[in-house]
Structure 1
Amino acid sequence: MKPDTIRIADLGAPRLTDIQRQAIASAPPVVMSEGAVLAAARHHTGLSDFGADDFRERLGIWLKSFDEDKDLGPLGRAGLFGDAVRYASARLRFEDLVKRYPEIRTVAIDRPIIIAGLPRSGTTHLVNILAADPRLRSMQLWETMEPIPATKEKIVTGEVDPRFVRTREMWGGFETMLPLMPAMHEMAPDHVHEDIALQGLDFSSYLPEWQSRAHRWRDYYYGHDQTPHYAYGRRVLQALTWLKGPDRWVLKSPPHMENLLPLITTYSDATVVITHRDPVAVIQSAITMLAYGDRIRRSTIDLKGLANYWIDRVEHLLRACVRDRDALPASQSLDVLFDDYMADQETVITRVYKMAGLPLTREAKARIHAYLSANPRGKHGRVLYDLKGDFGVDVAALRERFGFYYERFSVKPERVTGDQP
């Protein structure tokens, strides 16, 4: 095996490090109740007005889903509870900010560039490339973690934002605990992250599913139109623009694939870029990453159950995309095949700029080239996957199941372990 290749051989029976054992043992017990979450958020912020109360129903379903996931371990439960408190705290701060500065409601969001695509399909790389252009506003990881600053905390121009410092410390500790994670998905505080966090403040999106088997929430989410939650997220985006411009955004999130109609309803002048990659390769990568993280989140590892959950989940994303793709205006939407993007990134970037009506200036090109040079694919090592061996997935049957998607978008199958020779 080459020095820069990584094979995680203990996914199903993790050999925990001392750091991982200590983190699990020191996780505080939590009560998954609305009252506990909201009380913690009030205490954390010193605020009490959450705005419209409809979010409470969704929060309650999140928490019930976590309680029903019996294989969640103490660290997994504490992490999910902490996420709920973090979103509730951000909601309090957002509602307080708009109350004090009502002009935020009139802030323009100008022709955003929004990237949709399966997890692990190049969306993170593409959004970070475009975000290198200073004319575009983006959400870095630290800002998604704490979108609205605390009123008592001074943000001094020219100094590092304390929210950035906290995120760097938190994710530094996370990567110390799970050192192979950057090879699968780097989470540096200054990397552009998903705008899915905007909907977290309204307790929607598929956020809970990434760290738990949130069956109850998933079914509720499927049954409800997401347009109101996209609209809430847009309001948060107005606040972020008011705090710091410019007003033209580049955003990305995988759930946009199953919410193309709410997306274009909310951002009617958006340029929507949809990346397409072999879903078998996507699933192989995504569930390996999730399984690796599950060693600290879950008391029992069920690799087959994890695979089944995300195969179903990805199919839902793809069928919704196929169903609604033609509802997007042709002059505002672009399909990008992963293979084409990897082979010729500059041509894809040029196409995006042209459709967005944004001149590709010399400065933009220089910044984009600098980002590409500093972030080659696989710079943290290359993970070796085994979809059949690790997860017991019948690769041929899976390809047949996703035939509707390969055909609709001319997606090329990628070679994965378990393919027939």
Structure 2
Amino acid sequence: MTETNAALRVDELLAAARDKAGLHEFGDEWFLEPLGVLVAALNDEARLSELGVELTRRRLTALLVDRLRLRALQREHPEILDVEPAVTAVICGLPRTGSTLLHRLLASSPRLTATLSWETSYPIPFPGEGPDAPERKRRARDRMRAFLELSPDFGDIHTVQWDGPEEEVILLDRTFTSMSFDSFYWVPGYGDWLRSADQSRAYGELRQWLQVLQWQDPSRANRHWVLKSPHHLTAVGTVLDAFDDCRIVMTHRSPVRAVPSYASMVHTMSAQYSDACDPAAIGRYWSDRFATGLREFTAVRARRPDRFVDVRFESMLSQPVAEARRVLGELGLPVDDADVRAFESYVDRDRRQRRASHSYAPEDFGLSREQLERDFAFYQEVLP
């Protein structure tokens, strides 16, 4: 692959999406601002390869197609807007802090539900598709296989399951207001914009996507949603406002381990799109990014302390079932035998499926233990 200067253009992406979908109504076009910021950063900063440009053009077009299809589905089935998703927990924290394990563990409870990987990729039924969604599931399997071929080491970093619980931030990608983009691409200008953006409209649309998924699966009406993504750290106050009855479940791990681990993950992902990835620049960017995010998180938490539940990484590893039981209780859902059986079954399955350990060091990404300890000292002091 070679680096290219081929430009992405918003007007061409919009036209391509309309042509592909056979639809024209995007509804409220507030999303054009984040899309414009993202496209400018991709053109100016990302140093995309020829393959990277083509993959990105397809990805952005597909996200715009889903926006068109969402509006069409809402017009055809206005009852979707009456669906009430009950979001009970929003798991967040630095990446690589045990949040994925906790998310999938809680989602195994018969009383909880989460977005599934294939749903986040293909949230809207194809024409003529029944509730079993065979075409969407087939495409999701193929898509994951292609992704792992491009990044064969990714499965050692993050266990992937095409039909298992996955971060709903992938639904937020369709608002172009998402941490996914500066994780997959070198776009620090976009990341700076995201940190200062009002994300209330993006979270309003996330709620609409949950409505669509719950409408397709009425059994979810009797279950509580558990969400999860480190992206939520960029908008903690907005999350609490968007989902009135939720609590933030914060996973904690020393940034000395968490930050280099995520830098390694980002480097693996961004190498799909660019041949010019700089590990040291990635390390510095995410170290600064997370330090800023945690300071803002601490300020929000101080104003609304009753909305938070804490989980330590070490506890998740040593006693995952006990931690899941404790968290469920703090969410106001007393644990029963069915929950315990589900938790134990998931832990057993997870241990069998785990792959090789993930190896990295701060120095691999232009960082050092001393620097991370210094920059995150404020956070270490408030750890529960």
SS, match of residue 71 in structure 1:
coil
Q: What CA distance in whole angstroms lies between the structure 2 residues aligned with 1:396 and 1:127?
A: 31
Aligned partner (choices 95, 108, 131) of residue 119 of structure 1: 95
Q: Cα offset for 1:125?
A: 1.1
Q: Could you tell me the TM-score, scaled by structure 1's length?
A: 0.85
The question of 1:324 aligning with 2:300 is answered: yes
Residue aligning to 1:287 = 263
> Aligned-residue CA RMSD in angstroms?
2.1
Q: Cα offset for 1:111?
A: 4.2
Q: Cα offset for 1:257?
A: 1.9
The question of 1:397 aligning with 2:371 is answered: yes
Q: What CA distance in whole angstroms lies between the structure 2 residues aligned with 1:382 and 1:178?
A: 16
Q: Cα offset for 1:113?
A: 1.8
Distance change (3 Å), C-alpha of 1:140 and 1:111: closer
Q: Cα offset for 1:28?
A: 11
Aligned partner (choices 62, 69, 77) of residue 93 of structure 1: 69
Matches within 5 A, 1:81-230: 81-150=57-126, 152-155=127-130, 157=131, 159=132, 161-230=134-203
Percent same amino acid among aligned pairs? 28
The question of 1:351 aligning with 2:305 is answered: no
Distance change (3 Å), C-alpha of 1:295 and 1:235: closer
Matches within 5 A, 1:360-399: 360-376=335-351, 379-388=354-363, 390-399=364-373
Residue aligning to 1:55 = 31
Aligned partner (choices 238, 259, 264) of residue 235 of structure 2: 259
Aligned partner (choices 312, 318, 322) of residue 337 of structure 1: 312
Q: What CA distance in whole angstroms lies between the structure 1 residues aligned with 2:279 and 2:101?
A: 28
Contact 2:87–2:226 (8 Å) recurs in 1: no
Q: What CA distance in whole angstroms lies between the structure 2 residues aligned with 1:154 and 1:169?
A: 18
Deviation sequence 1:264-303 (CA, Å, 0-9, x none): 1010101321101111211111111222334332122312
Give, as a single letter, the amino acid of the residue that structure 2 aligns with 1:256: H
* Structure 1 stretch displaced more, 114-123 or 291-300: 291-300
Q: 4+ residue runs of structure 1 moved beyond 4 angstroms?
A: 27-31
* Structure 1 stretch displaced more, 27-36 or 37-46: 27-36
Q: What CA distance in whole angstroms lies between the structure 1 residues aligned with 2:287 and 2:305?
A: 29
Q: Cα offset for 1:79?
A: 2.7
Distance change (3 Å), C-alpha of 1:205 and 1:138: same
Give, as a single letter, the amino acid of the residue that structure 1 aligns with 2:373: R
Q: What CA distance in whole angstroms lies between the structure 2 residues aligned with 1:259 and 1:328?
A: 14
Q: Cα offset for 1:70?
A: 4.9
Which sections of structure 2, spanning at least 5 residues, go unmatched? none
Q: What CA distance in whole angstroms lies between the structure 2 residues aligned with 1:290 and 1:70?
A: 13
Give, as a single letter, the amino acid of the residue that structure 1 aligns with 2:88: P
Contact 1:198–1:237 (8 Å) recurs in 2: no
Residue aligning to 1:10 = none
Deviation sequence 1:370-392 (CA, Å, 0-9, x none): 1110112882111221221x223
Q: Cα offset for 1:161?
A: 2.5
Residue aligning to 1:16 = none
Which sections of structure 1, spanning at least 5 residues, go unmatched? 1-23, 411-421
Relative to its length, the structure with more helix (as a share) is: 2
